[in-house]
Structure 1
Amino acid sequence: MTLVLTTASVPDGERLAYWRDALGRALVPMAVTARHDGPFEGRVSTERLGYLRIATIEADAHRVSRTPAHLAATQAPSVACVAVGVLTAGTATLVQGGRRAFVAEGDLMVYDTGRPYSLDFPGRFAAHVVHLPRRALGLPEEDLRRVTGTAIAGTAGFGALLVNFLTSLTASVPPCAPAVATRLATGVVDLFATLVEERTQDDASPDANPGDHLVLRVRDHIERNLGDPDLSPGTVAAAHHISVRYLHRLFEGEGITVARLIQRRRLERCARELHRPDATAPTVSAVAQRWGFANPAHFSRVFRAAYGRSPREWRGARDELLPAG
């Protein structure tokens, strides 16, 4: 069901307060400051697609900010989200985590609703915003922090793919059965997770040593073979015609060993799949086997060590992603 909130029929002197409450209902509570003295105009529509919340906003120039006070009063860690917005008209400045990013028309803006941020729109603008539950992403905190508080050009790579997909999807959210809605939501999550992985790999220094290119090839090989239970430093080294010793030397500056990288990426894939609110999802053991864990007891042990819950407990918490009502 679509919820539409507009200032059109609100008295001029009450419009800004109404808009602040409208954004709080459609997105998250935040402060709103107008950029001009005249009557304010704004319209926001919001609806659900599976476990995603989608909002389309058109409004006059204003600034919004989510402060520590808002977080303390309203934010539940279990439902924290990463917001991915597509600016379809106008410009904006996004500030979060010590970063300041200029957002142009056609760009993606990415921010974490569980941390303070501000968005300044100097003129009239339009945007689509999708809230992705952090637990559905299954991505490590360090990777998410690399992309939150940033603007991503929508002209190349997965940025362009995600902009096109979100624009067409949010322009007219199709009526569909719950199972189909969940699959569409999962498609958005997977595209964003892939974008994060692409951006993480692209963070290599421009003056990196020649071995960095090989590190990227090794990482790509690992990603494509996570489901192979025989994937190991030995098989990775053999696939690239290098010794295991040299492979370990390549990863000395990566902050993680090859074996730990394989395990972490497998666990992230399992966590993401287990937490999807889909009644037809495979069993815990099937998910573990799909991502290369041949021993159920070992999988349960390393999963609990990484996420603080057993795989079954993690899967049971997926109901937190379902919309109320």
Structure 2
Amino acid sequence: MLIETVFRSEDVPAADRFECYRELMNRAYAPMELSSGHAPDFRAHQRLIGLGAVSVWPGEFEPLLLRRTPKLIRQSDPEVYQLTLVLKGSGKHSLGRQETICDAYEFHSNDSSRPSETRTGQGRTRIIGVEFPKTQLPLPRSRADQVIGRHMSAQDGIGALLAQFLIQLTRDTGQYTPDDGPRLGTVAIDLTAALFSHTFGADTSLAPEAHRRTLTCASKHSSSSTCTTPPSPRVR
């Protein structure tokens, strides 16, 4: 099976749960300030799946406020992009002066090099996060940077294809081997690049090889072992 780390808040004493979760998130992404009104007895379930250079982390947690400040960026910047598929709940994401309201079956994106703030809504939030080095994305950096923070639907087109891929991938990692990880990571990056290009309205900005891989995945997603997905995403 794929290399996977699992955090369950019930496995940790109540007084230590939020601090353990904060440390996990800082290791998984980049140093952040986390706060929550539920910190005294925080409940969360987080998985971290390694796919070569790509990390995928499905999770469910109580209301959170996450801040990536200029000071933290100066201290440490892994130079990564982050894409988050919201499966349950909602939130507000601020990137500089740009604000985005993100509801279920929408994506929001982030850049470790830019100050940001994410506030989740009331109730538990369920997500699948994807993170990868900026250098891995087969798009001009200027194009990718203009997409970060913009609204992207996961209910149709390329967004739905990427959402279904992530849901299928995280549903049961036991059916894959560690050698499958980097290949699945490549699929995730190529579909993300296709989504970014579609959002920007510049499909031709994809590198030719990545464009061919994306078209192949899209045409075969109903039968390929790495692209097989349920007919439509559903919150379980």
TM-score when normalising by structure 1: 0.58
Equivalent residue number for residue 269 of structure 1: 207
Residues in 1 aligned to 2:207 and 2:153: alpha-carbon distance in whole angstroms: 26
Equivalent residue number for residue 221 of structure 2: none
Residues in 1 aligned to 2:82 and 2:169: alpha-carbon distance in whole angstroms: 16
* Greater strand proportion: 2
Residues in 2 aligned to 1:118 and 1:25: alpha-carbon distance in whole angstroms: 18
Equivalent residue number for residue 70 of structure 2: 68
**Are residue 194 (structure 1) and residue 194 (structure 2) matched?**
yes
Matched AA of 1:96: L
Matched AA of 2:52: G
Residues in 2 aligned to 1:58 and 1:134: alpha-carbon distance in whole angstroms: 26
Contact kept? 2:15, 2:40, Cα under 8 Å: no
Identity percentage over the alignment? Answer: 23
Equivalent residue number for residue 106 of structure 2: 107
Q: Which shows bigger deviation, 148-157 or 61-70?
A: 148-157
Residues in 1 aligned to 2:209 and 2:155: alpha-carbon distance in whole angstroms: 31
Equivalent residue number for residue 126 of structure 1: 126
> Could you list the runs of 4 or more consecutive aligned residues of structure 1 that deviate by over 6 angstroms after TM superposition?
270-273
Q: Secondary structure at the match of 2:128?
A: strand
Contact kept? 1:27, 1:55, Cα under 8 Å: no
Residues in 1 aligned to 2:132 and 2:53: alpha-carbon distance in whole angstroms: 8
Contact kept? 1:34, 1:62, Cα under 8 Å: yes
Residues in 1 aligned to 2:210 and 2:37: alpha-carbon distance in whole angstroms: 41
TM-score when normalising by structure 2: 0.78
Ranked by relative contact order (alpha carbons within 8 Å, sequence separation 6 or more), the top structure is 2
Residues in 1 aligned to 2:100 and 2:6: alpha-carbon distance in whole angstroms: 29
Instruction: Choose 1 or 2 for highest CA Rg.
Output: 1
Structure 1 pair 53–85 and aligned structure 2 pair: CA distance change class (3 A):
same
Structure 1 pair 183–19 and aligned structure 2 pair: CA distance change class (3 A):
closer
Residues in 2 aligned to 1:184 and 1:16: alpha-carbon distance in whole angstroms: 31
**Post-superposition offset of 1:150:** 2.7
Structure 1 pair 97–141 and aligned structure 2 pair: CA distance change class (3 A):
farther
Equivalent residue number for residue 166 of structure 1: 166
Equivalent residue number for residue 177 of structure 2: 176
Aligned residue pairs: how many? 207
**Post-superposition offset of 1:149:** 1.5
RMSD of equivalent CA atoms: 2.4
Matched AA of 2:100: A
Contact kept? 1:35, 1:122, Cα under 8 Å: no
Deviations 1:109-130 (A, max 9, x none): 1111222212111221111101
Deviations 1:61-110 (A, max 9, x none): 1111111222222214xxx2111111111111111132111111111111
Q: Secondary structure at the match of 2:25?
A: helix
Alignment of 1:49-60 (within 5 A): 49-60=51-62
